[in-house]
Chain A
């Protein structure tokens, strides 16, 4: 294959295997392992007076039952606070097993290890915990009121208070001809991958070596954490990530108590041990996201141009802060979107509540920020009586203003400087794609049939490809096949396909001859992980660089063998030849043989590399500055994130009688720089849009006042089925390559979800003629809003 694969819709090589049930997930790894099950807190906030495990000890098939008192050394210390941030003044993390106090329903208190999961669950049911109940703090308002505290030593329930500003927002608003004060509310949702958490570990007593298979987004992170907690050296621990059935962020948090406890149990018991999370456990003991309350003060001119923006928000962080402040920092810095905000100040409080911890979920704070900014744009347009697209247009950063510095510190500690983009062109594209300018005639046509429709628009900018680095190793075998390893993990994104496209292009080898391994610390020990839409940017770039190094060596060795200048060589379909003289050629495999001087021949091909066949007898077989093998290794470490962008537009229908909400059309314009594989990018957009629709119309963690999660099952936590997602999503691409990496790539993983709530809220507001300030919204809630609005508009008092 000599044509370029970059930009081609190459079929995903993963799918045949995965769709036929050939995937191998953690739970499929059959080592005859014992099963670990967890005793979890039934209370949102309580002190543990005592734990009685006596009834468990005589159950046949139980091998161990442990509580906090059975932990020692680093295992008895709190779990790590992974991302310490200077403003996280009151960071708190849980223990692997609760010590004295529990702070959410689902927190791990004890573990049982048994022959199988059935016996283990029987045993879990017989552990008796004596609790002293404490008042539960549930929801942002209760946390903010701070009548009760989640942690005794955290005043006001405030884990962190952050202020960032660029200019004097207050003065800007004060001087502005028009101002608005607005409040916005987003509820809790969660990632909900099909495969929950899972971990299997095996301790090799003879060699003092631990092998861990875990369903994670960072195998190197888990490796470091397990080694530290168990007092092992890094080189004693291998962490292998097999197929992962989705992550969406929840699996970047680590180490989970179970990852440590399974490893510890394997070591202590000398037997393989596994834990497979069930769905209820995933609801109550993994992580959630999204809940925030926001207040906006904004000043603007007659055209809707922003003159000052002051945003204050309160972030529900759940019971602990293991993953630091990434979510609220993203919300606060990405809120600005594609706009010149004028002077901007953003202040947030990150608050503890007695609910499941909050860590990034696809979008990671950006959907909230986008919701706030875009709803503000719509409110300005409504106030001025202007077209909503026009108000956005006057605020856009223009193509000649890149790089554009927002004067804010991003979640990676680097500056929020947009590297490239063309927002004006994007706005034109989305208007055309959705039929923005023709909508009024469509609305009239539908109204004539008694139908009510509305249109909405939302824009976002997403910092992608956060550092610090990723690496890649490319190894050309003597078969001519190319084995590539990168350390970050895959959860279904199509890395095996997209990365192979990059390698095939750079090395000139058939796509089929490239094999990609991800997330295996035995193959690549230095890596960070898969989050922040970074895999294509980071590992894609690293793989490109590593392939380039391998290619340099190929050409150097081939030029010796062919007695030609490297400049005159080309590699096509795995064959190195002299340009214009195709007869003078050598296979890549043969070059690989020659790259490794041999003493022993083991087959016909390797004879060519033995000392009696090759080499200048007056020189060392491996030159001083060289090494054997046909390999390339390199790392990519950018100065800062690269900023992708997009705009969504949606047309909804609301039923005048039943308040049902139906999406009639969904349009996306998307810029992720250079596209490696448009089919994969569109798949990411489809999945993201589906999650955006879920967040806008269906998904909500329903906690009661006592901190019980009322809908901890797929029967009552409503994710959209395929029947709730539009049959077609219209997509148009815009490519403004990033100047920050060799291929011009920007991230595409999270984008699709970000503007969902903002665009859908705008469309419902447009259809209904009443303000939508809180998402998600259900038909029942729309019905109640209509009733309130009808009352408000018939009473004389001013309602705002």
Chain B
């Protein structure tokens, strides 16, 4: 449980960080370290160079305005979760964050770090994708914005170039007339979910105009499914069941030691109905 030898850089500017990353093909960014450090200790990862970005200035912001929520690369989950502005502008970010691991992990882990780690069992990549957010990255080619639906290319793999540092995540604000909900089921509080589902439902004149759900732990990349058609008539048990079936057709749950594929699929159905109902109720309260 001791990592192999590695070099360590602690850049003071973003430019230095990008340069350091570019200097070695096996370089890795360290922010909160809640995934990377255990992997290194178990020798499942052995980066040659650690680029510790914790001393870069101006990356720990959490801001919210009419357009949405902006989260800097060094903002800890706990900082984001504590923000009343975030909760007001895009409540789904806060609802999901409350399910990210445990307080001690949220105190060190960063939301942006979790997003670019691209784990299909993690909450924030799925939420970013569901809300149609984006990530700003800085590399040797300059700064660019990657839309969420172009961010996740494969399990545990994002579309960031090797020398790019993610500096900010953006979650659009919840529009008027829309509601959100999140629910996940895990073996113990704070564990990775066996299945988690989030939903965004938009209502106009009492009718559902858009319904989308995001899924974690039931496919190998964060997955979003459009369920508008299923709820286009009315939101009743039959419609919810249709929505759940439609969602399931897009998912590929697998068995592991904690849950069978059939159970995960069942949870996806149950939770789809629950979060669509809750998001629909939330939309009508708005």
Q: Is A783 within 8 A of B187, CB to CB? A: no
What's the minimum C-beta distance from B131 to chain A, rounded to whole angstroms?
Answer: 25
A-B pairs, top 4 by smallest CB distance, nearest first, are A278-B1, A723-B189, A780-B259, A780-B263
**B263 to chain A: which residues have CB within 8 Å?**
659, 779-780, 783-784
**A778 to chain B: which residues have CB within 8 Å?**
187, 258-259
Q: Is A784 within 8 A of B262, CB to CB? A: yes
The chain A residue sitting closest to B192, CB to CB, is: A715
Is A771 in contact with chain B by the CB < 8 A criterion?
Answer: no
**A125 to chain B: which residues have CB within 8 Å?**
43
What's the minimum C-beta distance from A480 to chain B, rounded to whole angstroms?
Answer: 46
Is A716 in contact with chain B by the CB < 8 A criterion?
Answer: yes
Given A118-B5, A121-B2, A780 contacting B188 (CB threshold 8 A): no
Q: Is A783 within 8 A of B4, CB to CB? A: no
Write out, one digit per residue, whether chain A residues 643-665 have a CB within 8 A of any chain B CB (1) or not (0): 00000000000000111100000
What are 22 A-to-B residue pairs whose CB atoms are below 8 Å? Answer: A117-B2, A122-B5, A125-B43, A280-B42, A658-B270, A700-B257, A713-B42, A715-B192, A716-B257, A718-B191, A720-B188, A721-B189, A724-B189, A778-B258, A779-B185, A779-B259, A779-B263, A780-B194, A780-B260, A780-B263, A783-B262, A783-B266
Q: Is A784 within 8 A of B270, CB to CB? A: no
The chain B residue sitting closest to A787, CB to CB, is: B262
Is A93 in contact with chain B by the CB < 8 A criterion?
Answer: no
Is B190 in contact with chain A by the CB < 8 A criterion?
Answer: yes
Is B130 in contact with chain A by the CB < 8 A criterion?
Answer: no
Given A658-B267, A716-B257, A779-B263, A122 contacting B185 (CB threshold 8 A): no
Report the bound CA distance from A226 to B267 in whole Å: 54
Residues of B at the A interface (CB closer than 8 Å) are 1-5, 42-43, 185, 187-192, 194, 257-260, 262-263, 266-267, 270
Residues of A at the B interface (CB closer than 8 Å) are 117-118, 121-122, 125, 278-280, 657-660, 698, 700, 702, 710-711, 713, 715-716, 718, 720-721, 723-724, 778-780, 783-784, 787
Report the bound CA distance from A713 to B2 in whole Å: 15
Q: Is A279 within 8 A of B259, CB to CB? A: no
What's the minimum C-beta distance from A656 to chain B, rounded to whole angstroms?
Answer: 10
**B259 to chain A: which residues have CB within 8 Å?**
778-780
Q: Is A660 within 8 A of B185, CB to CB? A: yes
**A720 to chain B: which residues have CB within 8 Å?**
188
Would you call the interface of chain B mostly helix, strand, loop, or mixed? loop
What's the minimum C-beta distance from A120 to chain B, rounded to whole angstroms?
Answer: 8
What's the minimum C-beta distance from A192 to chain B, rounded to whole angstroms?
Answer: 14
Q: Is B262 within 8 A of A698, CB to CB? A: no
Report the bound CA distance from A702 to B5 in whole Å: 32
**B270 to chain A: which residues have CB within 8 Å?**
657-658
Report the bound CA distance from A278 to B43 in whole Å: 13
The chain B residue sitting closest to A117, CB to CB, is: B2
**A716 to chain B: which residues have CB within 8 Å?**
257-258
What's the minimum C-beta distance from B187 to chain A, rounded to whole angstroms?
Answer: 5
**B4 to chain A: which residues have CB within 8 Å?**
122
What's the minimum C-beta distance from A763 to chain B, rounded to whole angstroms?
Answer: 19
Q: Is B260 within 8 A of A723, CB to CB? A: no
Cβ-defined partner of B187 (8 Å) among A121, A122, A278, A718: A718
**B185 to chain A: which residues have CB within 8 Å?**
658, 660, 779
Report the bound CA distance from A658 to B186 in whole Å: 11
Cβ-defined partner of A723 (8 Å) among B190, B257, B266, B267: B190
Known A713-B42, A779-B263; 8 more pairs at CB < 8 Å: A117-B2, A118-B3, A122-B5, A700-B257, A723-B188, A724-B188, A783-B262, A787-B262
The chain B residue sitting closest to A720, CB to CB, is: B188
**B258 to chain A: which residues have CB within 8 Å?**
716, 718, 778, 780
**B5 to chain A: which residues have CB within 8 Å?**
118, 122
Cβ-defined partner of B188 (8 Å) among A278, A713, A718, A784: A718
Q: Is A721 within 8 A of B260, CB to CB? A: no
**B42 to chain A: which residues have CB within 8 Å?**
280, 713
What's the minimum C-beta distance from A190 to chain B, rounded to whole angstroms?
Answer: 15
Q: Is A118 within 8 A of B2, CB to CB? A: yes
Interface centre among B185, B257, B270 (most CB of A within 10 A): B257
Report the bound CA distance from A698 to B270 in whole Å: 22
Report the bound CA distance from A729 to B185 in whole Å: 25
Cβ-defined partner of A698 (8 Å) among B2, B188, B190, B266: B188
Interface centre among B4, B185, B258, B262 (most CB of A within 10 A): B258
The chain B residue sitting closest to A277, CB to CB, is: B1
What's the minimum C-beta distance from A113 to chain B, rounded to whole angstroms?
Answer: 15
Report the bound CA distance from A617 to B188 in whole Å: 77
**A713 to chain B: which residues have CB within 8 Å?**
42
What's the minimum C-beta distance from B259 to chain A, rounded to whole angstroms?
Answer: 4
Report the bound CA distance from A784 to B4 in whole Å: 43
What's the minimum C-beta distance from A39 to chain B, rounded to whole angstroms?
Answer: 14
**A698 to chain B: which residues have CB within 8 Å?**
187-188
Q: Is B257 within 8 A of A702, CB to CB? A: yes
What's the minimum C-beta distance from A177 to chain B, rounded to whole angstroms?
Answer: 42
Interface centre among A710, A711, A778 (most CB of B within 10 A): A778
Report the bound CA distance from A118 to B257 in whole Å: 32
Interface centre among B4, B188, B190 (most CB of A within 10 A): B188
Report the bound CA distance from A658 to B189 in whole Å: 15
Report the bound CA distance from A716 to B194 in whole Å: 12
The chain A residue sitting closest to B194, CB to CB, is: A780
Report the bound CA distance from A713 to B3 in whole Å: 16
**A723 to chain B: which residues have CB within 8 Å?**
188-190
**B3 to chain A: which residues have CB within 8 Å?**
118
Cβ-defined partner of A279 (8 Å) among B1, B188, B267: B1
Report the bound CA distance from A787 to B266 in whole Å: 11
Given A720-B188, A723-B190, A710 contacting B257 (CB threshold 8 A): yes
Report the bound CA distance from A710 to B5 in whole Å: 27
What's the minimum C-beta distance from A246 to chain B, rounded to whole angstroms?
Answer: 18
Report the bound CA distance from A700 to B257 in whole Å: 9
Report the bound CA distance from A551 to B283 in whole Å: 79
